Amino acid sequence: MSLRLPKVSGIEGRIAAPPSKSYTHRALIAAACADGRSVVRDPLHSEDTGVTVTALRQLGADITGTGDLVVEGTGGKFTASPGCTIDCHSSGTSMRMLLSLSLLADVPVCLTGSPRMQKRPVAPLVDALNTAGGKIHYLKESGFPPVCVDGKFRGGHMDIDASASSQFLSSALMAAPCAAEETVITTPCEPASREYLDITADVMATFGAPVTRDGYRRFSVSPGGYTPAAYTVEGDYSSASYFFAMAAVCTGTVEVTRLNPKSCQGDRVFLSLLAEMGCRVTEGTHAVTVTADGRLKGITAAMGNTPDVVLTLAAVAPFADGPTTITGIRNLRVKESDRLSAVVRIAALGGAVAEVSDDTITITPGRLSGGGTIDPEDDHRTVMSAAVVALGRGDVGILHPGCVQKSYPGFWDALREGGIL
């Protein structure tokens, strides 16, 4: 299946942000570990979060509901069936979070996933967990899923190299309240995407398991488990970024509601980048509005902590007057697809050339004719970024548009119902 969008200009859009995928994963995990009943309100229902729901059920949590989710927690003691195998499909968050969580199960748990998932590294987390009571071993290639998780998470001192992914740290932190002793985690270097650790700590505190920390290099969690909570998931800045980008490249105004202006989501920085490029950004109590007149300038942006909006910026860059340089992009090669390759292809759709050099990519507008058709290689963020370029210039075909189900099933409906299409 393919989709071809028309070029649009002078848009007036108003869209409600979908719930945050990152917050939904974490709230479900905390609720499943709590001792009692929790309610997760306004969760994201998507392929990725569905993987986590299914996995938690396999581990013994009772999760019901089609809108809000009612979670009967396990008290941090999972009772899985013998031979339990959890398929994480292409959800990297699920795979990494479940690596630590499975050490709370009463039987060994096997974690597997899609062919792409089996190329995404997990060794830094596995190595650390095996010093804290784990007996985890690889079932195929060393350092990569599938894995068999055995042993018990006792806590204690752990060193975790999170330079490739902060999810390694988040995984151990979320299991730590259910450990037998205090867990102290240090990391030898600055974690990647460190703001996601703020999200982890935020959710844990709400469920009664606070994290004591020294910046992003030392974390400690006391044993004692989680307490049940009624938790409302906030709107997602990563998903909202595409609509803000559409305002920038199509000209006009887009308002996105259901956003927390004080959110600790790192992808809020995308609004600052658009303002630097020449857009007008207005933040309200529960909404953000971006207005653009078509005059955009190239910028330099350090995005090592916000990898999920690199592709969105790459979709805006071809419409700017001058090059845009993005640094901190090395880890994009090990996402759902090779997103460095995707940046090059997204830029080419808009008539720009993207030049990659080690940890930097520079996008120079106007060197190519642009247009054509893009295969997103089953990557939801490539599809949504391609939609930005398509609406800004026209003559763009998008293959397999349905892969937005991974993080934002309502994306195409939102374009139509929100006044952009």
If one compares 329 and 146, the residue with the highest pLDDT of the two is: 146
Query: In what order do the strands lie in the sheet containing 218-221?
Result: 156-159, 183-186, 218-221, 212-214
Instruction: Tell me the sheet residues that pair with 3.
Output: 398
The model's confidence at residue 305, banded by pLDDT at 50, 70 and 90, is: confident
Backbone angles phi, psi at 133, to 5 degrees: 110, -5
Q: 77 near 104, Cβ under 8 Å? A: yes
H/E segment holding residue 71 = strand 69-72
**Torsion, Cα of 132, 113, 56, 178 (10° steps):** 10
Whether residue 323 is preceded by a cis peptide bond, meaning omega within 30 degrees of 0, is: no
- Report the Cα–Cα distance between both ends of the chain, in Å, rounded: 20
- DSSP notation for 28-43: HHHHHHBSSEEEEES-
CA–CA dist 261, 193 (Å, integer): 20
Quote the CA–CA distance of 129 and 8 in Å, as a whole number.
Answer: 51
Does residue 359 carry a catalytic annotation? no
Mean pLDDT, all residues of the chain: 95
**Residue 237 scores a pLDDT above 80:** yes
Res. 304 pLDDT band, cuts 50 70 90: confident
In contact, 194 and 216? CB cutoff 8 Å? yes
Question: What structural domains does the chain harbor?
Answer: 2-18+235-417 (3.65.10.10), 21-232 (3.65.10.10)
The rounded distance, in Å, linking the Cα atoms of 239 and 64 is 26
**Strand pairing report for 287-292 and 252-257:** antiparallel
Containing 273, the helix (H) or strand (E) segment is: helix 269-277
> For residue 115, what are the contacts with CB-CB under 8 A and spacing of at least 6?
none
Give me the pLDDT at residue 337, please: 62
User: Residue 78 and residue 187: Cα distance in Å, rounded?
Assistant: 28
The percent of residues above 70 in pLDDT, for the chain, comes to 99
Q: What is the pLDDT of residue 338?
A: 80
Pairing of strands 69-72, 300-302: unpaired
User: d(Cα 187, Cα 171) in Å, to the nearest integer?
Assistant: 14
Q: What would the pLDDT profile of 157-212 be if each residue is shown by its tens digit?
A: 999 999 889 999 999 999 999 999 999 999 999 898 899 999 999 999 999 999 99
Map residue 94 onto helix, strand or coil.
Answer: helix
Neighbour tally for 417: CB within 10 Å: 14
**Token duo for residue 324:** 């845009």
Q: Which of 236, 267, 308, 379 is catalytic?
A: 308
Closest residue by Cα to residue 51 from 106, 101, 92, 107: 92
H/E stretch holding 112 reads strand 109-112
User: pLDDT digits over 369-386, tens only?
Assistant: 888 999 998 899 999 999
